[in-house]
Every structure is written in structure tokens, then in C-alpha cells.
Amino acid sequence: MDLFEHQARELFEHYGVLVPRAVVADSAPEARAAAERLGGRVVVKAQVRTGGRGKAGGVRLAADPAAAYVTAGQILGMDIKGHTVHRVMVAEPVQVEREFYLGHALGRAAGRFLAIASAEGGMEIEDVAARRPEAVARIPVDPDQGVTDAKAAEIAAAGGLPAEAAPTVRRLWRVLTEQDALLVEVNPLVSTRDGAIVALDGKVTLDDNARFRRPYAHAADTADAGDPREAEAAARGLNYVKLDGHVGVIGNGAGLVMSTLDVVASRGPPADFLDIGGGASAEVMAGGLAVVLGDPDVRSVLVNVFGGITACDAVAEGIVRALDTVTLTKPLVVRLDGNSAARGRAILAERAHPLVHQVDTMDGAAARAAEPGPAVKGGALLPTPQ
């Protein structure tokens, strides 16, 4: 899970990384008081667990405490990529000389740790990485050796960072490894006019499997529910991530869901990642459908299940149970294969819902789910009249 920026900042400070002085505020009056404590001129930053805050207007400079009051009032309540701003961080401004990018990550595809650095940090780093990948250095890190002084100097030099940034490189590695993180990122890392190396922003993604060791992770959950569907899915014990498309995706097993997303993406953008797990019951399947169908961005849903521990007839029973409790107004494309697939298909055929379409192949199911048509316009999930 992602930490809020103010939580990442506190971790960085604990490990000796220089950060601006800052105060968290839940209201405009608190933001004004924070600005008074910090000397008047401040930066007001939305605290949401998503990127793009600056481009969305969630990071603004306030000239004095009165301006901080007005600015915080404008930012609080904003919607940034589906996340409502409930609090802001009021930070002391920094005299920036140059901006850089620095991060450590567990590269799953490469099967190794990577240090990532660039002399071109800031809001456009994604564009830089896409247009000129050579401008972003990716340096493998041996987990047995870690980031030594020599390795930190190598990473800084490869990314075009000043030599003075090497201690920060090493300290951020300690954050990654000692705090059970999968990603530690600073964008921008800056050099100031007096030569200091300061982390102006911070992103830390923790390994969910180690959350029981990280009490501040629970604080992040209670401070902001994030996307309401993600909160609902978590309450149901489902692995769900909201995406930006319109084709809902449900599968059993992370590998199968990822493959399904790839196939769907070639025809229409997927709206979510939802893994019901390897031993999902009919109840879990019904709960997953309720979460995905409740997303107003979803125009159709693809259920792609390969029966193993989760038998296809249990999945079909879950779909039927969901159809008994909601009025389906969006196409539901189902592909069942594997354990008890024939029985599962028979259950759905017997239910004979006009918006449920069975397709034999994953490619065919993805193409059917991405089809435009009258049935995908508007549809909302409505309670069945009692």
C-alpha cells in the first residue's frame, strides 16, 4: 500500500534525509496556523495517495498565512483521480537550484532490486522516461551487498546527480529495506542554492504482507479511505485496484487477471484489477460483481475463470446469486474453463439472463466485452425491487 506524502516525509527525516519543515492540517484555519509557525510563505500540498497532484492543482504556493487559509480551503475537498482531499501538508518553501529524480524499487519483472535516477526530475519525469529512456539510469542492486558508499556514488553518477546526493541514495535504500517497502521514490530531489540535497516530495509503497509490522500503515488506512470501491473491496477481502477504463475485469489468480488485462487493453481500456482468489466461494464471486458493477465508469464486465481450487460451478452460482440481488443493466461476459466448467456453463444457461453472454475463449470474451452498443450506455447497478 502507498503511504501519504507526510508519512513518507517522516520516514525520510527519521533516516537522516533532509526534508522541508512541514505541518499537516485538516482545515483551512489549521493551515493558516501552520503557515504562521513556518514563517508565512508556504507550499500547500494535497495529501492523497495518487500522483498528478501538481497538474491537478493540488500543490500551490501561498504568500502568507491568509493566502494559506484560502488555498487550503480550495484544495480540501478536491477530487484528484478519484481521491478526495481530506487533509493538506503545509511546508516551508525551498530555494531550488536543480531538480532530480531518485528511487529504489523491487523490480518484479527483472527479479531484482533497482536504483533509478535521473538528472531531469519534476512533474514531467514520466514523459522523459517514455521519450528518452536513456535519460533515466536503472542500476541493479545486489541485495546481499546493498547500497554501500561506493554503490551510492555509482548510482548518483549514473543518474547525473551531484556527488553530494550519494548519502541520500544510501539512506533511501535503508528506508526500502528496513521498512518492508517495495518502492521508495523522491521526485523531485533537489539541490538548493546553499548546496543542500533536499527531498521535496516522497512516495513509499509498503509490502502488504508486512503491514502487521507497520502500525503507520493502519493509520494511512483510517486517514483516507481512498476510492470507495477499493475500500468496499478490502472490507470484502478482495484484491481490487481501480483503473481508468470502462471494461470491468474479474478473474481468479493474479496471473490470470494480469493476462486478461493485457488482452482487454488491446481492445478497450480495463476499468479494474479484481482477483477473487484461488479458492473463492459463490459469496466471494457475488461480492466481486457488486464492487465492479457499482463503478459508474464500467460499461461491461468480463469474468474470466479457470477452474482449479475454485470450481467453475461455484463461480456460476456466485453470478446467479448476484443476479438475484441486483438488476443487471450492463453486459456481463463470462468465460469458464477447467474444473466443473461444463456444470458452470449449464447453470448460467439455465438462468438465461439476456445480458449474460458466455464465450469460450479469452480473446473472444475480451472482444465481446469491449464491444460498444446500446446495452453499455449509462447502465447503473440498481437494487432489485422488493
Question: Is the N-terminal amide bond of 188 cis, ω within 30° of 0?
Answer: yes
DSSP type of residue 2: B
Is 69 assigned a catalytic role? no
Cα separations in angstroms, 254 against 128, 257, 265, 335, 350? 30, 5, 16, 16, 30
**Cα gap 185→179, rounded to integer Å:** 14
Q: Residue 306: which H helix or E strand, with range?
A: strand 300-307
Residue with cell 521514490: 185
Report the alpha-carbon angle 200-201-204, nearest 5.
Answer: 145
Instruction: Out of 5, 30, 99, 185, pick the active-site residue.
Output: 185
* AA letter at 317: E
Which is nearest to 118 in space by CA: 131, 107, 128?
128
Buried b (16+ CB within 10 A) or exposed e, 278-307: eebebebbbbbbbbbbbbebbbbbbbbbbb
Instruction: Out of 30, 69, 101, 120, pick the active-site residue.
Output: 101
- HSE, CB side, 13 Å, CA atoms: give it for residue 29: 0
Is 240 assigned a catalytic role? no
Catalytic residues: 101, 185
